[in-house]
Structure 1
């Protein structure tokens, strides 16, 4: 027979094990969700015959739908690579970024930012996102609002030696690329469904044409 002290110790171990299982279960419920994304490719011939090809490859998102256990906060870490080929021009500039929306469809035309950002959808392949986020991907959006931000923030001296920040990677020759990993999207204030969508805008300048070409990635849910 077991004495009472031994049985009490067993009961304590069982309670501790039960508590540990409960903690593990809670953690699993709040675990991050890895989302592989298909990226995309777009080829456009400009009016002067210049051929621009834009690719979005290796795209993914790691999503935490409720950081801090609050229903109005989401957090995601996004990665990808933008690759550009320009045949007939000598260089360009790559502007990778994301558009985030709260209870708004960002899969088509008519999207306008309710804060500072905007999207000109007059030509689907020449969309130049308006950028209004002051702190990278840390956004506060209410229902029906969207906002865009650029991934890059390159610090460099301007022509007068002062500090300046550029949102693009400028390249010379016929190809260029930008790769980013674990770029943060932090969304506050959205009590409904939220989505995000990558874009790669390319500014191309030739002897005859200055234009933007934009490739859009697939929208994905932030929870």
Structure 2
């Protein structure tokens, strides 16, 4: 079961969404700001010749004013679709980990599309992104100036090998194509009195007969106030 908070829809092939800029509210002073984001695509050729293409399409954010009219609270709803295509291998399959990095008065735009937050993210444990204050499994974060944290969009509940409850932050797909689509996943930020940004990432783990590799696509950073 997918966590209802994330409202993530897992599909075989995701469809691109067409989005536009605008304001949605009954009062201009309290308007939510809807931002269409460009997404992106990255292609990586593995050492055995397998070609992996990862795309982020239909990406958008709906940014709310400060909760309770305080400058340290923000709330944003994010949507998008991560799509993976594999060529050069037969029924390779893989795992898709979509998520977001959130920073408070910290640069999260460094390093290019395959880079990351400058000096503050680490993929070394193979399963999670670790930020300045650690990784999180949900979108409710508390950050101070100069801090960054990350969270995964998915929280898929399923039994483990012993029948106990387990939670997965990825969608496993078989074959050469897969996708994950999420709608109105929440980024709730508290404690940040300064400028705050967020940035999507899509991490894809692919394992062939000869090689295991991780391909990471970074979306464009956007302001959340």
1:7-55 deviation line (CA, Å, top 9, x unaligned): xxxxxxxxxxxxxxxxxx9942121000000000111101110100000
Shift of residue 112, structure 1, vs aligned partner: 4.6
Q: Distance in 1 between matches of 2:104 and 2:196?
A: 5
Secondary structure, counterpart of 1:136 in structure 2: coil
Question: When the two structures are aligned, how many residues end up with a matched partner?
Answer: 191
Residue correspondence of structure 1 range 68-83 to structure 2 within 5 A: 68-83=68-83
Secondary structure, counterpart of 1:130 in structure 2: coil
Residue correspondence of structure 1 range 114-153 to structure 2 within 5 A: 118-120=121-123, 129-130=129-130, 132-134=134-136, 136-153=138-155
* 1:63 partnered with 2:63: yes
Of 111, 123, 128 in structure 1, the residue corresponding to residue 118 of structure 2 is 111
Residue correspondence of structure 1 range 170-209 to structure 2 within 5 A: 170-209=172-211
Q: RMSD value over aligned CA atoms?
A: 2.2
Native 8 Å contact 2:62 2:76 kept in 1: yes
Q: Distance in 2 between matches of 1:133 and 1:105?
A: 17
- What stretches of structure 1 of length at least 5 have no aligned partner? 1-24
Shift of residue 134, structure 1, vs aligned partner: 4.3
The 1:120/1:163 distance shift into structure 2, 3 A limit, reads closer
Q: Distance in 2 between matches of 1:120 and 1:65?
A: 32
The 1:101/1:161 distance shift into structure 2, 3 A limit, reads same
Alignment correspondent of 1:35: 35
Higher relative contact order (Cα pairs below 8 Å, separated by 6+ residues): 2
Secondary structure, counterpart of 1:104 in structure 2: coil
Residue correspondence of structure 1 range 211-222 to structure 2 within 5 A: 211-222=213-224
Alignment correspondent of 1:14: none
Q: Distance in 2 between matches of 1:63 and 1:46?
A: 38
Shift of residue 65, structure 1, vs aligned partner: 3.3
Shift of residue 129, structure 1, vs aligned partner: 2.3
Higher helix share: 1
Alignment correspondent of 1:88: 88
Shift of residue 120, structure 1, vs aligned partner: 4.9
Alignment correspondent of 1:13: none
Secondary structure, counterpart of 1:29 in structure 2: helix
